[in-house]
Amino acid sequence: MFLEPSYRGQRSGWIEVICGSMFSGKTEELIRRLKRAKIANQKVQIFKPSKDTRYDIIKVVSHDENAVRLASYKSK
């Protein structure tokens, strides 16, 4: 899952989509994967719409209050 594929010596990234119905654990899974990638010293980016201020402005927060802070935040 976290092994970066290489094609003819080139390294490339990928996008993974986590989908499901409401309260199915999508944000929990996203936070879990981000924490694992951080432990593995991998480069990751997470994006959050500026309109999404439900729990926090600069963190992605699950319903269980697990959170991960965005690397950079730009306010309008």
Q: What is the domain partition of the chain in residue ranges? A: 11-69
Rounded CA separation 47/72 (Å): 9
Residue 6 has pLDDT above 70, yes or no: no
Q: What pLDDT does residue 48 have?
A: 85
Distance CA 54, CA 51 (A): 9
Instruction: Tell me the per-residue pLDDT of 23-43, one tens digit each, with 9 for 90 and over.
Output: 999 999 999 998 898 899 888
Six-digit token pair at 40? 């593995």
Q: What radius of gyration do the chain's Cα atoms show?
A: 14
